[in-house]
């Protein structure tokens, strides 16, 4: 059986988990998230813990038990603590400004780039060259961060562009005559 799938999820105080045939919903201080369960995985709630067991002995059911466990764990962590991604802008004149649910980027184009944030995602700019994206849904936070990075990905010769704060840009050597 999957090692990840064997570990139970502890449900913290203030988090409500509802398991139905067509939906697993998690509600907490950070919001409410839901997920459609997989038929290959049985979800058992007992003594404030969630356990995930494969429905049969197939390899797919074993793999899906670990996947479902991690997805539900991300939902529990999301409604309690939340997730965040940090982006940095590298380049002369590159700056970002958060205006409510919009992000205004000036990254070397002749026009500013405006990005609307989806429901449940907040964006902040502590400094003009730093962007912080927060939300309860891990997948959506990562997707929004990837879309913002795609506006001007880091280029390999000077390292200019929008990069994740923990990303290392490998600078290429220029051509020699």
In a domain, 171, yes or no: no
103-153 pLDDT, tens digit per residue, is: 999 999 999 999 999 999 999 999 999 999 999 999 999 999 999 999 999
CA 138, chain centre distance (Å): 3
What is the model's pLDDT at position 1? 55
Domain boundary at 80, 108, 134, which? 80
Where in the sequence is the domain holding 125, given as residue range(s)?
83-164
Q: How far apart are the C-alpha atoms of 148 and 62, rounded to whole Å?
A: 36
Kindly state whether residues 19 and 54 are assigned to the same domain.
yes
Note the pTM of the prediction, 2 decimals.
Answer: 0.89
Residues 123, 98 within the same domain: yes
Strand partners, 46: 49
Low-confidence stretches of the chain (pLDDT < 70) are 1-2
- Please list, in sequence order, all residues whose beta carbon lies within 8 angstroms of the beta carbon of residue 10, skipping any fewer than 6 positions away: 48, 49
Residue 152's contacts (CB-CB under 8 Å, 6 or more residues apart) are: 94, 105, 107, 108, 109, 160, 161, 162
Q: Of the candidates 84, 94, 80, 79, which has an alpha carbon nearest to the alpha carbon of residue 145?
A: 84
Secondary structure (3-state) at 126? coil
**Domain holding 103: CATH number?**
3.90.930.12
């Amino acid at each position: 059986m999957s090692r990840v799938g064997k570990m139970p999820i502890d449900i913290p105080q203030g988090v409500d988990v509802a398991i139905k045939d067509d939906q697993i919903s998690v509600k907490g201080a950070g919001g409410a998230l839901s997920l459609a369960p997989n038929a290959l995985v049985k979800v058992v709630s007992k003594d404030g813990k969630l356990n995930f067991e494969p429905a049969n002995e197939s390899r797919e059911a074993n793999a899906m038990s670990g996947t479902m466990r991690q997805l539900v764990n991300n939902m529990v962590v999301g409604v309690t603590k939340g997730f965040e991604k940090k982006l940095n802008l590298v380049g002369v004149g590159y700056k970002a400004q958060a205006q409510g649910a919009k992000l205004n980027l000036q990254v070397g184009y002749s026009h500013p780039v405006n990005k609307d944030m989806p429901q449940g995602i907040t964006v902040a700019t502590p400094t003009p060259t730093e962007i912080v994206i927060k939300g309860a849904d891990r997948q959506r936070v990562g997707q929004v961060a990837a879309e913002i990075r795609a506006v001007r990905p880091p280029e390999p010769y000077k390292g200019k562009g929008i990069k994740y704060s923990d990303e290392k840009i490998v600078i290429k050597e220029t051509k020699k005559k």
